Amino acid sequence: MSDQKKIEEMSFEEAIRELERVVGLLDRGDVALEESISLYETGAKLKARCEAKLKEAEEKVAQITLDVSGQPTGAKPVEGL
């Protein structure tokens, strides 16, 4: 992953694609033990990145304000983002 973005800079879609690639390599079972450990650690970081991006999105959606008829009128500022 040295040529690719750092995990912290990845979009959700980039992180999930990379996570799927890592899981595929681990599922094949034909990588050396040390590489498997490294892939597992990378997978854990990618999973955490995906979870963080999903939480961010959920918080943004939760901040959408609706008018009396249920139509979106804007968003309240999200604290901490």
pLDDT in tens, 5-64: 799 999 999 999 999 999 999 999 999 999 999 999 999 999 999 999 999 999 888 888
Own/partner long-range contacts of 52-60 (Cβ < 8 Å, ≥24 apart): 53/11, 53/12, 53/15, 54/12, 56/81, 57/12
**Domain 7-75: top CATH class:** mainly alpha
Dihedral over Cα of 70, 75, 80, 81: its sign: positive
Let me know: does 73 contact 65? Beta carbons within 8 Å: yes
The pTM score is 0.75
In this structure, the number of other CB atoms found within 10 A of the CB of residue 56 comes to 14
CA 57, chain centre distance (Å): 10
